[in-house]
């Protein structure tokens, strides 16, 4: 089946030079604020973050972005160039961890509820099961089975424009709850198992939340 992507990529931008002709050069501040280690202010941002988005890629170039959440400060700063993210129990697919093992790289975006500031961290990565490290990472309820450790190559604070444009923290501009399908409805459609009902999926989701630390 031919998709819109197949048609659009026929005349897509083919090289860096062509892309740059569409945009102005970045300003001095946009370049200078990229660093290779955490400042005290970056540490404070990380300590306030209860949600991170982890980007990774496998050995074949297939990309993935997955969320990780916990109490504010659940990501540990081991030193100015090293972070540790506890791997709380989830769906057990291990997509991110397997990607990191394959390529040794990860990207992390820190999000702070109610704030427009975000922090991007890119770098080398590994998966650790070292007991003394895991014993330090109990913010998600108990020591995790493993931790994603990121050796920082790039720290970059993003401007707030995306969050402002999206009105992320403005409830008065959010769509009503019934404007979107529920999580259970989306899951049921994805599973394509006619014997299951919405009630079955809702119960599975409720059980997963109740036992989320096991």
Sketch the domain layout of the chain as residue ranges.
Answer: 33-165, 175-210
pLDDT recorded at residue 214 = 46
47-93 pLDDT tens trace: 999 999 999 999 999 999 999 999 999 999 999 999 999 998 777 89
pLDDT recorded at residue 19 = 95
- Has residue 212 got a pLDDT over 60? no
Distance CA(13)–CA(9), nearest Å, equals: 8
pLDDT over 70 percentage in the chain = 98
pTM above 0.85, yes or no: yes
Average pLDDT score over the chain: 93
- Has residue 42 got a pLDDT over 60? yes
Distance CA(73)–CA(76), nearest Å, equals: 7
Mean pLDDT calculated for residue range 103-123: 96
Distance CA(211)–CA(207), nearest Å, equals: 6
Query: Which CATH architecture does the domain made up of 33-165 adopt?
Result: Roll (2.30)
Residue whose token pair is 């791997």: 87
Is 46 in a helix, a strand, or coil?
Answer: helix
- Has residue 208 got a pLDDT over 50? yes
pLDDT over 90 percentage in the chain = 78
Residue 211: pLDDT band by 50, 70, 90 thresholds?
low
pLDDT greater at residue 169 or residue 142: 169
pLDDT recorded at residue 45 = 96
pLDDT recorded at residue 205 = 85
DSSP 30: H
Mean pLDDT calculated for residue range 6-21: 95
- Has residue 209 got a pLDDT over 90? no
Distance CA(25)–CA(13), nearest Å, equals: 17
On the CB side of 210, CA atoms within 13 Å amount to 6
Q: Residues 107, 96: contact at Cβ < 8 Å? A: no
């Amino acid at each position: 089946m031919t998709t819109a992507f197949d048609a659009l990529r026929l005349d897509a931008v083919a090289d860096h030079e062509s892309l740059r002709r569409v945009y102005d050069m970045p300003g001095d501040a946009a370049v200078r604020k990229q660093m290779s280690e955490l400042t005290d202010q970056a540490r404070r941002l990380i300590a306030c973050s209860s949600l991170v988005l982890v980007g990774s890629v496998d050995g074949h170039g297939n990309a993935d972005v997955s969320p990780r959440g916990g109490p504010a400060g659940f990501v540990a700063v081991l030193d100015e160039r090293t972070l540790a993210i506890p791997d709380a129990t989830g769906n057990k697919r291990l997509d991110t961890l397997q990607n990191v093992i394959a390529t040794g790289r990860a990207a992390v975006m820190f999000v702070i509820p109610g704030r427009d500031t975000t922090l991007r961290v890119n770098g080398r990565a590994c998966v650790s099961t070292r007991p003394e490290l895991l014993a330090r990472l109990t913010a998600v309820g108990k020591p995790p089975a493993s931790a994603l450790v990121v050796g920082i190559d790039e720290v970059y604070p993003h401007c707030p424009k995306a969050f402002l444009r999206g009105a992320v923290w403005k409830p008065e501009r959010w769509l009503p709850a019934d404007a979107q399908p529920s999580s259970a409805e989306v899951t049921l459609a994805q599973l394509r198992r006619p014997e299951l009902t919405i009630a079955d999926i809702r119960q599975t989701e409720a059980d997963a939340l109740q036992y989320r630390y096991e």
